[in-house]
Structure 1
Amino acid sequence: NNDVEFIFLQLCENYGFAKANNIAYEYVNNLITFDYFWLLNNDTTILNSTLPALISYAKKHNNNILLSSLIYEGDDTTKLWFSGGVYNKYFAIGNHVDYEKFKASKYKFLSGCSLFIPVSVIDKIGLLNEDIFLYAEDLEFSIRATEKDIPLDVVDSSIVFHVGGASSVKRSYLAYYYMIRYTTSVIVNEHSRLLFLTIIPYHVIKIMYLFLFQSVPFSSLRGYIDGMIDAI
C-alpha cells in the first residue's frame, strides 16, 4: 500500500532495546488508537502473509495471547532459528528448541526478534522492563505474561527471515556481558537467589570450556565474568 506512513524516531542516546521500544509505543499511542504492537528486528525480512497471520491467530484467541513468528536464518528455509524458547532456572540459560518441546515446557519464552503483542496484553502486564538494557527483555516479558495466565505461542504461518547479530558482534565482550547479566538476573529475580548455588558452578565450567575448547579469547570472556558478577 503506497499510502502507508512510516515514522522514524531518532533518540538522543542509546537507551537499549526495552526503553526504545517503549518510547515508540507511547509516541504512537498518543497519536492513534491501535490493537497490536509488533516488535520486529531491523535485520529481518518478512512475507506479505507474515503480519496477517499473527493478527488472525491473535483474534482467534480474543487477543489474550503473546505471539512470535517462525524465524529462519537469513533466507534459508532449511535453517530454522526460532520455533520456541525454554529456559533452565538451575543454570540460568535459555535455548531455542523445537515447537513440541516449547509447548510442553513450563518455563517457556518467545523471541523479541518478532514479538507480537495485543494492546490488551500490555494493559494487563505493562510494557517492556526498562531495567534491562539488552537481551532477556523477551524472557522477562514472557514470564510476566505467563504469570497472568496469558498463553505464549509461535505461529508457523507467520514467517520471518533473520540475518542475526546486528546489535552486537557474536562472542564479543558486550554480547557476553549483556546476555549473562540480564538472563541470570531475570531468572534469579523470578525464582530464588538460592539458584546461584547451581548457576555459578555451571557458568565457571562453561567459561573454562569456551576458553580451552572453543578458543574464545579471554578479552571476550571477561564480559561473561563481569556480567555474572553484576548479576550477583
Structure 2
Amino acid sequence: MRPKVSFVVLNWNNFKDTKEIVQCLERLDYPNFDIVIVDNDSRDGSARMLEDCFPEHPFIRSPVNSGYSGGNNLGIEYALRMKADYVAIVNNDIVIDNDKLLAEVIAYMEDSGAEILGPKIERLETRETVSVYNDSPWWNLVRKVMVKNRRTREDDAQEEYNSLLLLGAFLVIKSEVFGTIGKMNEDFFMYCEENELLLRANLHRVAISYYPQVKVLRKMGKDERNYHIRRLYYMSRNKIHMFKLHSSGWSLLFLLFINFVSDVKKIVRFLFEGKFAFAATIVKGVIDGTGHVTGINPRYH
C-alpha cells in the first residue's frame, strides 16, 4: 500500500478557484489520497456550492474566519486523525498539469528521507519561478540571522542543517513532523505563517527539500503582483512577530533595523506615488507588530 496523502484545500469566498484545484487534484494518478476541503466562514455561498459539487470529499466548515493558518490547521488536524502519512497544504490558486506529480513527489520523499517538500512553483501568467524565499537576498539574510541566532543559543551553531524557506502555496509534510514542531501559528492569521513553520522545522533539524523536478503553476494576478492593503498590513505586522519569536538580543535589533529601513523605503515610495492608504497601512502594521497585536484585524476584511 502506498503512503496515504491528505490534501488540505482552504476556501474563503472563492468557489471558482477552489473548484478548479479540487478538480486538478482529483485527476492525480495516485492510489491512496483524499482531499479535505476547509471553508473559512465564507459569506458568498461558496461553502454550500462546494459541498454540493464535491459530496465525496471531507468538508469542514469553520465557524469563524480563522485565517490561512487557522483554516489549514483544521484540515491538518482532520488528516492526522484519519492517519494520513503525509499532509499536502495546497493553495486554491494552484494549477496542476501533471497527473503523475503526487506519485513522483512521494517516491522522492520516501527515497530521500525528505520530511517537508516544496515543488517548483511558477506564475501562471509569466512562468516566472517563485518557489523559494532563499532566492530573495532580503529573506535569505533574515533566515540566516534567525536560524543562526537560535542555534547558537543551543551551542549548535556549527552543525550542518537544511535552511530552505519554501513558498507555502504547496507544501507536502510528513505527518510525524507536526508532532515535533506543531502546526501553523494562528497568531499570524495570514502571511509569514509558512516562514515561521519552516523556521521551527529548521530548528528541529527536519529534512526540508526543494524538488524542482516537479512543477505546479500559481495564479498570481494583478493583486498579487502589486501591493494591496490586506497583504501590506499582515506582512508588515507578522514579520515583526516572526523576528521576536526567532531572534533576541543584537540579532533581533539588527533584524528590526533592516526591516525598518525596508519599510521606510516602501512608505516613501507610496507617498511619492500618492498611495497614502498604502503608506498608512505599513505604519499600522509596524505599530501592531511592535505591540504584539495578533490574529485577525477586521479593518482589513
Percent identity for Structure 1 against Structure 2: 23
Change in CA separation of 1:166 and 1:217 when aligned onto 2, cut-off 3 Å: closer
Separation in structure 2 between the aligned mates of residue 107 and residue 120 of structure 1, nearest angstrom: 19
For 2:83, give the aligned amino acid.
Answer: T
1:154 aligned partner: 210
By how many angstroms is 1:16 displaced?
0.5
Separation in structure 2 between the aligned mates of residue 175 and residue 151 of structure 1, nearest angstrom: 29
Task: String of CA shifts for 1:212-232, please: whole Å, max 9, x gaps.
Answer: 2xx361112221111111111
By how many angstroms is 1:169 displaced?
8.7
Which structure has the higher relative contact order (CA within 8 Å, separation 6+)?
A: 1
Give the alignment of 1:98-109 within 5 angstroms.
108-109=164-165
Task: String of CA shifts for 1:90-112, please: whole Å, max 9, x gaps.
Answer: 9x9xxxxxxxxxxxx97631111
Residue 262 (structure 2) pairs with residue 202 (structure 1): yes
Task: From 240, 263, 271, give the equivalent of 1:184.
Answer: 240
Change in CA separation of 1:167 and 1:182 when aligned onto 2, cut-off 3 Å: farther
Residue 173 (structure 2) pairs with residue 117 (structure 1): yes
CA contact (8 A) 2:119 2:211 kept: yes
1:89 aligned partner: 142
By how many angstroms is 1:69 displaced?
1.0
Change in CA separation of 1:229 and 1:59 when aligned onto 2, cut-off 3 Å: same
Separation in structure 1 between the aligned mates of residue 88 and residue 222 of structure 2, nearest angstrom: 19
By how many angstroms is 1:129 displaced?
0.9
By how many angstroms is 1:27 displaced?
2.2
Aligned pair count reads 214
2:117 aligned partner: 67
Return the structure number with greater helix share.
2
Task: From 128, 131, 137, give the equivalent of 2:184.
Answer: 128
Please, what is the CA RMSD of the aligned residues? 2.9
Task: String of CA shifts for 1:121-178, please: whole Å, max 9, x gaps.
Answer: 1121111111110000110011001101113221112211100269979422211000
By how many angstroms is 1:33 displaced?
1.4
2:83 aligned partner: 33
Task: From 123, 129, 138, give the equivalent of 1:80.
Answer: 129
Output the TM-score relative to the length of structure 2.
0.63
CA contact (8 A) 2:237 2:285 kept: yes
Separation in structure 2 between the aligned mates of residue 166 and residue 58 of structure 1, nearest angstrom: 34
CA contact (8 A) 1:169 1:175 kept: no
Unaligned runs of 5+ in 2: 1-25, 35-55, 146-160, 291-301
By how many angstroms is 1:199 displaced?
2.8
Higher Cα radius of gyration: 2
Separation in structure 2 between the aligned mates of residue 67 and residue 206 of structure 1, nearest angstrom: 32
CA contact (8 A) 2:192 2:239 kept: yes
For 1:61, give the aligned amino acid.
Answer: S
SS in 1 for 2:121: strand
CA contact (8 A) 2:163 2:208 kept: no
1:98 aligned partner: none
Separation in structure 1 between the aligned mates of residue 192 and residue 178 of structure 2, nearest angstrom: 18
Unaligned runs of 5+ in 1: 93-104
Task: String of CA shifts for 1:49-108, please: whole Å, max 9, x gaps.
Answer: 22222211211233x5211110011165x42222x2232339x9xxxxxxxxxxxx9763
Separation in structure 1 between the aligned mates of residue 198 and residue 280 of structure 2, nearest angstrom: 29
For 2:257, give the aligned amino acid.
Answer: L
CA contact (8 A) 1:36 1:119 kept: yes
